[in-house]
Amino acid sequence: MAGGLASPIDGGACMTSSKASGDWCPAGDVEEKLREQSRLFDIAVNNMSQGLVMFDAAERLLVCNRRYVEMYGLSPDVVKPGCTLLDLLKQRTAQGTFARDPAEYRADLLAAMSEGQIMRRITEIGDGRTFAVVTQPMAGGGWVATHEDITELRRVEKERDSTKAFLDTVVENVPVALVVKDARDHRYVLANRAAEELWGISRSKVIGKHARDLFAKDEADLVEARDGEVLRCGRQLDVEEHSMHTPGNGERLVTSKRLAILGAEGEAEYLLSVIEDITERRRVEERIAHLAHHDPLTDLPNRAAFSDRLNAAIERASRSDEAFALLAIDLDRFKHVNDVFGHAVGDELLRETARRLNCAADGAFVARLGGDEFALVIESAPQPRTAEMVAERLQAAVSGDLEIAGHHLRIGLSVGVAIYPADGSDPTALMGNADAALYRAKSDGRGSVRFFEADMDNLLRERRLLQRDLQFALERGELAIAYQPQSRVGGGGSVGVVGFEALVRWRHPVHGLIPPSQFIPLAEESGLIIAMGEWILRETCREAAAWPQPLQVAVNLSPVQFQHGDLPAIVHAILLETGLAASRLELEITEGVLIGDFPRALSILRRLKALGVRIAMDDFGTGYSSLSYLQSFPFDKIKIDKSFVSSLEHSPQSAAIIRAVIGLGRGLALPVMAEGVETAEQLAFLTQECCDEVQGYLVGCPRPIEDYAEIVGYSSRSAKLTAAS
């Protein structure tokens, strides 16, 4: 019977007897019993959950149950008692359930059986199933093998292993320390990576140890006491912020939670501790709290801290009926240092100045309000004498050369002083009057100390009102453009106007004509220069585009315009809008444009030049780096500052500088224009030195373009007005 056991019973009859009872039984009964035993054996073998095969010493199959045949999809016609091992393996190979070389496998199997070894192996077949095969030798030769389908078991094991690996990964990467102890002997049995970082030692030095093996006695006693409390109370123990003296990481600030993990019997098996290291967080919070009231550059108290201190000083002084002083301080020439040497040097200068002020203040409260503005609150008596003495010490502290980043810099202090309560009884009034005194100190030539006087408040108020009025000057039509002629120089002097410089004028409805030297700085400080500069450029280009004569027109650009917005895009749009040829527009810049963020300014200038406009260096010779800037960018013109021209007749140095600049322009093939030409003698000198162009009152004053109608191509002023209408 296929899949059954080859039976020796052939159906013959025999007689047998029972030695115990002496009874005889017919041979037919014995055969019947043997057949029944064979049937039961067959049923048992074929109902096994495992596949079973048995081979004799000659490698012939004796037993093969149904499960084995089904497991490997074999044919019962081939796999039956008497077939050889190789025959069976070949059929399995054909079915794709045996991947090894049959002959090689046979050799390994026979060698193991001959040595009495039990072979155990796990094998995977092509359809993804996994089998566990156990082969063991039989007495007298041959072997028996069981084949168990463990596919599901392996899947469960893989899921279990994957889950364990996942949990291990999670525990290992939890950003707080997880520590587990055996509840019976309190030895450490688990610690994650965060615990290692907290302790400052490897977990290999921790596992299996007690707290007393790792920590100092006081710390170990505290740990064990808390563990014991958890076990006694049976509830979670939360310990708020406390310090921990770690074995290898010094003192840390932590919070911790402890709880007991119970077993099946309800008894504590493990102690779990979750410890969060909050040391760095506390440091950051303290740093943030510090920065909230301190300047990050100088570490002095900031404006917010100053405001708090000033309020507190007023409250104390009002109760004690005492006076105190408020000092407002500005650094003299700081903007110049920042512009010429860059922000890094400027920042270092502020740090050094802050340090010196703090030392010289002798206990007074020193704050940095922003930029180069500082303030002091001096509560010691008597006042105002104490304020005067402190101000003198402050000025002495920054006098002389300061060596900053390899540069020898010289600055000074302008100080404004207001005394409580005479100069103000509330913070706003007191600070405003100290600022007014500071403004007077700066106006008087800088480097001075001024105490508040009643008229100072009016001056400061007028300046602020003027800045406010400037915000509405554009929309009210109070701004206008004046044009100053620029002339070429020939053999006999000026030989004709080649262009104009556009200059903005502000006619205030109350104060009348306000000079640019007064309102342009206000516009730059407030940022109004951005809109104003765009308006000036648009109006000038629109005007020049209407001239019958294609003369040049020059427009000044502020450094502030380079710092905000897309200046080249604005210029391009205005040229397209007005129809002015780009070659007729000349943009004048000062050295201040290039100081600071030089690469960005250079990129903007190159984009402007790519539009076809001309770029002129204005006020040449007054800065520190003009020569290097000429090397970095191909300017189209150099303009000699009027300060050299005005002193030409009585200053040999000015004459030498002008000669040098004209020679430099000639060597670089750059036209040179002299500004501020007011006398025939100045023009004669410039003509003799072959200066290319001149500008000044001798050539023409800044006037409305109607006054130069004939020069720009109109037959008369009225013709210009007619064309404009």
Is the pLDDT at 143 greater than 90? The verdict is yes
- Which helix H or strand E contains 165, and what residues bound it? helix 151-173
What pLDDT score does 40 carry?
Answer: 83
pLDDT tens-digit profile of 150-179? 999 988 888 888 888 888 888 888 889 899
Q: Give the model's confidence band at 10: pLDDT under 50 very low, under 70 low, under 90 confident, else very high.
A: very low
> Which residue, among 599, 534, 573, 586, has the nearest Cα to 693 in the 3D structure?
586
In the chain, the N- to C-terminal Cα span, in Å, equals 123
Judged by DSSP in three states, 714 sits in: coil
With pLDDT > 70 as the criterion, what percentage of the chain qualifies? 92
Look over the chain and give the mean of its residue pLDDT values, rounded to a whole number.
86
Q: Considering only 73-77, 258-262, 287-291, 620-624, which range has the smallest mean pLDDT? A: 620-624
Give the whole-angstrom CA distance, residue 196 versus residue 177. Answer: 8
pLDDT tens-digit profile of 545-596? 999 999 999 999 998 888 888 999 999 999 999 999 999 999 999 877 876 6
Q: Which residue has the higher pLDDT, 264 or 547?
A: 547
Contacts of 583 (CB under 8 A, 6+ apart): 612, 613, 614
In the chain, what are the domains? 16-148 (3.30.450.20), 174-282 (3.30.450.20), 293-452 (3.30.70.270), 477-724 (3.20.20.450)
In this prediction, residues 318-329 reach a mean pLDDT of: 94
Judged by DSSP in three states, 374 sits in: strand
Using an 8 Å Cβ cutoff, are 334 and 346 in contact? yes
Within 10 angstroms of residue 113's Cβ, the number of other Cβ atoms is: 21
pLDDT tens-digit profile of 31-67? 777 777 778 878 878 888 899 999 999 999 999 999 9
What pLDDT score does 17 carry?
Answer: 38
Q: Give the model's confidence band at 6: pLDDT under 50 very low, under 70 low, under 90 confident, else very high.
A: very low
> Which residue, among 299, 298, 290, 301, has the nearest Cα to 376 in the 3D structure?
301
**In the numeric block, which tokens belong to residue 268?**
């504590």
What pLDDT score does 298 carry?
Answer: 94
pLDDT tens-digit profile of 629-667? 787 888 999 999 888 898 888 888 889 989 999 999 998
What pLDDT score does 369 carry?
Answer: 93
Q: Give the model's confidence band at 458: pLDDT under 50 very low, under 70 low, under 90 confident, else very high.
A: low
Cα distances from 344 to residues 170, 330, 626, 672, in angstroms, run 46, 19, 20, 34
What pLDDT score does 610 carry?
Answer: 95
Is the pLDDT at 493 greater than 70? The verdict is no
pLDDT tens-digit profile of 103-118? 999 999 999 999 999 9
In this prediction, residues 389-405 reach a mean pLDDT of: 89
What pLDDT score does 5 carry?
Answer: 40
What pLDDT score does 575 carry?
Answer: 96
Give the whole-angstrom CA distance, residue 196 versus residue 179. Answer: 10
What pLDDT score does 563 carry?
Answer: 80
What pLDDT score does 626 carry?
Answer: 61
What pLDDT score does 11 carry?
Answer: 33
Q: Give the model's confidence band at 102: pLDDT under 50 very low, under 70 low, under 90 confident, else very high.
A: very high
pLDDT tens-digit profile of 497-530? 999 999 999 998 888 898 888 888 888 877 888 9
In this prediction, residues 251-271 reach a mean pLDDT of: 89
With pLDDT > 90 as the criterion, what percentage of the chain qualifies? 48
The burial of 65, by beta-carbon neighbours within 10 Å (0-12 exposed, 13-18 middle, 19 or more buried), is given as buried
Quote the pTM value.
0.48
Is the pLDDT at 193 greater than 50? The verdict is yes
Give the whole-angstrom CA distance, residue 377 versus residue 199. Answer: 47
What pLDDT score does 21 carry?
Answer: 44
Is the pLDDT at 238 greater than 90? The verdict is no
Using an 8 Å Cβ cutoff, are 186 and 271 in contact? yes
Q: Give the model's confidence band at 24: pLDDT under 50 very low, under 70 low, under 90 confident, else very high.
A: low
Q: Give the model's confidence band at 708: pLDDT under 50 very low, under 70 low, under 90 confident, else very high.
A: very high
What pLDDT score does 725 carry?
Answer: 47
Q: Give the model's confidence band at 287: pLDDT under 50 very low, under 70 low, under 90 confident, else very high.
A: confident
Is the pLDDT at 8 greater than 60? The verdict is no
Give the whole-angstrom CA distance, residue 651 versus residue 72. Answer: 115
Give the whole-angstrom CA distance, residue 218 versus residue 199. Answer: 16
Report the sign of the C-alpha dihedral through residues 60, 65, 66, 68, in that order: negative
> Which residue, among 191, 303, 180, 326, has the nearest Cα to 247 in the 3D structure?
191
Contacts of 433 (CB under 8 A, 6+ apart): 418, 423, 424, 452, 456, 457
